[in-house]
Amino acid sequence: MSDKVTGIPVKRKTKFVDNSQNKSGTKTDSNFVNKSQKSGQSSPDKRGNSAEMGREGNMSKSANEKQNSGVEQTTENGVQDSAGNKTEKNMSSFECSNGVASLTYSSDQNVLYYAVLSVVTVLGFATRLYKLDVPAWICWDETHFGKMGSWYINHTFFFDVHPPLGKMLIAFAGHLSGYNGTFPFDKPGDLYGDTPYMGMRLMCACMGAALIPLVYMSTWLLCQSITAALIASSLVIFDLGINTLTRYILLDPILMFFIMVSTYTLLKFLSYRDSPFSVYWWFWLSVTGVFLSCAIAVKFVGLFVILLAGYSTIDDLWRLLGNQKLPLTEILKHFIARAFCLIVIPVICYMIYFAIHFAVLYKSGSGDGFYSSQFQSQLEGNRLYNISMPDNVAYGSRVSLKHQRTGGTYLHSHAHLYPEDHPPRQQQVTGYSHKDENNMFRIKPSHYETAQDNSYPIFVKNGDLVRLEHVPTRRNLHSHREPAPLTSRHFQVSGYGHDGRGDANDIWQIVVPGAVEGAQIKVVQSKFKLIHYHVKCALYAHDKKLPKWGFEQQEVTCNPDTKDSKTLWSVEEIRDQRLPNVSFEVYKPSFLDMFIESHAVMTQGNAGLKPKEGEVTSRPWQWPINWKGQVFSGNDHRVYLLGNPVIFFGLLVIMPLFLVIYLVHSMKVQRGVKTSKEVAEFKERTFSACWWAMIGWGLHYLPFWPMTRVLYFHHYFPALLYSCMLAGIILDYIIKMLCHSLPRSLSMLVFHTCLGLILSVTAYSFYVFHPLSYGMSGPHANHPDSDMHGLKWLDTWEI
């Protein structure tokens, strides 16, 4: 049976009955990958592990294969297989004088492993924390996420398209560092002054620095090569884009941290597949589920690492299913364990984050209008909180109408006309997501004026013909067969008339789908359509935003498709002293209702994110080629998000090179080209690891191609982490195979030269371009006196 599954080296337990020894007197293992370990012992990268660590490095000289009898091997299904005559582990012929370029593993490399891990970790923290306090003003999206952190500290409810965990962590870091949530975070460039902002930046920078050891350890778990792990982690250290992105108050360092922690714990769990249901097996499986929930609770992009975990889990279960010696009951246990830890635990944790979110944000804020009336009634300070209002709607009542599409807006109008480009020049009617007096309309019967407020109220019923008079301007809601401003296949909706008097195109019919005709219209509860009596179209609010002449509010039209389910409205607020009041508490939603509504609102908000006028955006094809970056800071301390061009352009070569190498390897295998056991196993392990990293890259990059929402360069960086892992593994493969093809006297020199060249080139390129990340001053790169002169390799770079 293969020792590798999807590139994850497998632990095997082997018991030698005859206690055979090698020349040095030390017992050896017949397996090529991780050595025998007691069930439940720590993984190879845990300090103090008494089991053999399986790391490459100094090895004894090659020993001839010895015959061993009476070997019993415990496979991953627990079945004892008779090995018969078993050969002792054959030392690699690829060893150099100190074994660094060896294709096989050794157990005496703990010191080297942890020494390299310590070095890359220190470098990671040093590059992220250096000059972290500058610039001392708001940079790019710090204005959004710093502001949201303030709202958490002040318990003020708000709307955002992302789940809450990342912003709660930012707020928590700010609270611990003494920030009281009073800084306004108005716009980029505003000075922080005495505001203690460093706590929030420090937390993000530390999470960004933690990416380096996580990439190092994850790469080692994939291919068990210190060289590959060193190269991969170095690429992350010296990439300017990752460095820049993890030094500010943003969600991206938090997201990438949880993605890489999830990756590491997943690989760690898979390394224990030969010790199923042991303590460490359960621990790493459960922890993987927790961190998967954290990843998606920061941004929905975290779904991609969940898909990666799902792929690995399905592949692992498929392998178990193919083991005919394993009972189906045992396979069922594996399935239930994975379903519980990778589905149930993440869902529970994810819901806990939202429960905390709702508990902390209990005060009314600017984002209330995106949510239903029932949701708003739970927020202190909201008009609907602990309010008593009439339960029915009567003619003469003043009401606000809320569109029932999730995250819907209020029907709104104001004393501004449509421009000449959209005749006739009547009063604008729009959708507005915030509470405002311009949202109030008076309901009137279609054929006569209402009586005075102290008269006996006549209730509005299903099927009634009504007119809606805008209270502040006293113009009626109106439609006609003129095309809408943006959606030309719909009809324009406007405000028309004077002092409440208009014409026949002001008449609308109230229709409650599924209700009996004549049923009374209830506040909040009744979901109805407003059908234009003459044009036969339904009132509708879009996601589309009007241009500046419409104050970027949402377009309201009359939809010819009256059966469209998205044309429903409800009465949220009613003012009528003639009617008895009832407590709004009767509409209180459950936690599950609020949880589901929040996700529907976030999903719609994400879909509605479109580029604003003059906004710098990018498309996925531009990201791998480093086409253009993003300005983080201007003024005299310019920070520009751009990937290290040496690393980015190098990856453009390395990734297709891997495909070519794999194709050549597959052709040789198909043609039956003979090779030694060590080389064959080395290639199998390498290519399995490369494909796993390639899948991780693809899952975090390719889904952006069909997206229509606004995208930015920073969306590529989670995928970049996997491409760095892939590059480290394939460069390690190329170097070692090159050393193998050379005489022993040259192999070590070539190995160190190649490794030193890779590390020095990436480090030097980081040094040359580091002002992009730490701040540029003086003239721009086009000017001969600029410090960046000659470094603007592409005209699209704004440096």
Question: Residue 101: which pLDDT band, with cuts at 50, 70 and 90?
Answer: low
Q: Residue 615: is it exposed, middle or buried by C-beta count within 10 angstroms (0-12/13-18/19+)?
A: exposed
Say whether pLDDT at 209 is over 80: yes
Paired residues of 510 in beta bridges: 530
Residues 613-641, mean pLDDT to the nearest whole number:
89
Residues 191-212, mean pLDDT to the nearest whole number:
97
d(CA 770, CA 785): 18
pLDDT higher for 524 or 63? 524
* Ramachandran angles phi, psi of 101, nearest 5°: -95, 20
pLDDT of residue 470: 96
Tell which residue, 732, 591, 602, 739, has the closest CA to residue 658: 732
3-state secondary structure of 130: coil
Say whether pLDDT at 568 is over 70: yes
Say whether pLDDT at 308 is over 60: yes
d(CA 431, CA 414): 11
Tell which residue, 643, 644, 624, 640, has the closest CA to residue 632: 640
pLDDT higher for 200 or 435? 200
Question: Residue 370: which pLDDT band, with cuts at 50, 70 and 90?
Answer: confident
Say whether pLDDT at 86 is over 60: no
CA torsion 223-228-229-233 (nearest 10°) is -140
Strand spans (E) along 586-672: 630-633, 639-641
Q: Residue 310: is it exposed, middle or buried by C-beta count within 10 angstroms (0-12/13-18/19+)?
A: middle
Question: Residue 310 in contact with residue 360, Cβ under 8 Å?
Answer: no
pLDDT of residue 406: 59
Say whether pLDDT at 115 is over 90: yes
Question: Residue 712: which pLDDT band, with cuts at 50, 70 and 90?
Answer: very high
- CA distances (Å), origin 790, targets 265, 632, 784, 793, 794: 43, 22, 8, 7, 10
Query: Counting runs of H as helices and runs of E as strands, what totals does the chain give?
Result: 19, 23
Cβ burial 702-738 (10 Å sphere, 16+ → b, else e): eebeeeeeebbbbbbbbbbbbbbbbbbbbbbbebbbe
pLDDT of residue 15: 35
d(CA 529, CA 521): 12
Paired residues of 571 in beta bridges: 401
Say whether pLDDT at 548 is over 80: yes
Question: Residue 613: which pLDDT band, with cuts at 50, 70 and 90?
Answer: low
Question: Residue 41: which pLDDT band, with cuts at 50, 70 and 90?
Answer: very low
pLDDT of residue 75: 35
3-state secondary structure of 638: strand
What the block records as the tokens of 322 is: 């193919």
Say whether pLDDT at 405 is over 70: yes
How high is the mean pLDDT of the chain?
85
Helix axes 198-209, 252-270, angle to 10 degrees: 30
Residues 97-123, mean pLDDT to the nearest whole number:
75
- CA distances (Å), origin 111, targets 47, 55, 57, 118: 10, 10, 10, 10
Say whether pLDDT at 104 is over 90: no
Say whether pLDDT at 250 is over 60: yes
Q: What percent of the chain has pLDDT over 70?
A: 85
Question: Residue 120 in contact with residue 114, Cβ under 8 Å?
Answer: no
Signed CA dihedral, 674, 676, 677, 679: sign only? negative
Q: Residue 447: is it exposed, middle or buried by C-beta count within 10 angstroms (0-12/13-18/19+)?
A: exposed
pLDDT of residue 202: 97
pLDDT higher for 31 or 710? 710
Question: Residue 339: which pLDDT band, with cuts at 50, 70 and 90?
Answer: very high
Say whether pLDDT at 349 is over 60: yes
pLDDT of residue 636: 85
Say whether pLDDT at 14 is over 60: no
In this predicted model, what pLDDT tens digit does every residue of 631-687 receive, in sequence order?
999 888 999 999 999 999 999 999 999 999 999 999 999 999 988 888 999 999 999
pLDDT of residue 635: 82
In this predicted model, what pLDDT tens digit does every residue of 675-703 receive, in sequence order?
888 899 999 999 999 999 999 999 999 99
Task: Count the Cβ atoms, other than its own, within 10 Å of residue 297.
Answer: 27
Residues 85-112, mean pLDDT to the nearest whole number:
50
> Which residues, including other chains, have CB under 8 Å from residue 286's CB and lie 6 or more apart?
341, 345
Strand spans (E) along 601-660: 630-633, 639-641
Count of all residues that appear for the chain in the document: 799
Residues 739-748, mean pLDDT to the nearest whole number:
88
Residues 287-294, mean pLDDT to the nearest whole number:
98
Say whether pLDDT at 63 is over 60: no
pLDDT higher for 467 or 368? 467
Question: Residue 738: which pLDDT band, with cuts at 50, 70 and 90?
Answer: very high
> Which residues, including other chains, have CB under 8 Å from residue 310's CB and lie 6 or more apart?
342
In this predicted model, what pLDDT tens digit does every residue of 311-326 receive, in sequence order?
999 999 999 999 999 9
User: According to the 3-state scheme, what is the secondary structure of 182-194?
Assistant: CCCCCCCCCECCC
What the block records as the tokens of 218 is: 């994850």
Stated as kind and residue range, the H or E segment containing 444 is strand 440-445
In this predicted model, what pLDDT tens digit does every residue of 386-403 receive, in sequence order?
888 899 999 999 999 999
Task: Count the Cβ atoms, other than its own, within 10 Å of residue 361.
Answer: 20
In this predicted model, what pLDDT tens digit does every residue of 461-505 receive, in sequence order?
999 999 999 999 999 999 999 999 999 999 999 999 988 888 999
Task: Count the Cβ atoms, other than its own, within 10 Å of residue 660.
Answer: 9
Say whether pLDDT at 454 is over 70: no
Q: What percent of the chain has pLDDT over 90?
A: 68
pLDDT higher for 500 or 538? 538
By mean pLDDT, which of 106-115, 140-149, 663-672 is the weakest?
Answer: 106-115
* Ramachandran angles phi, psi of 597, nearest 5°: -65, -40
Question: Residue 58: which pLDDT band, with cuts at 50, 70 and 90?
Answer: very low
Q: How far apart are the first and last CA of the chain?
A: 55
pLDDT of residue 412: 96
Cross-sheet strand order for the sheet of 13-15? 13-15, 72-74, 80-82
- Give me Rg for the CA atoms of the chain: 33
d(CA 385, CA 382): 5
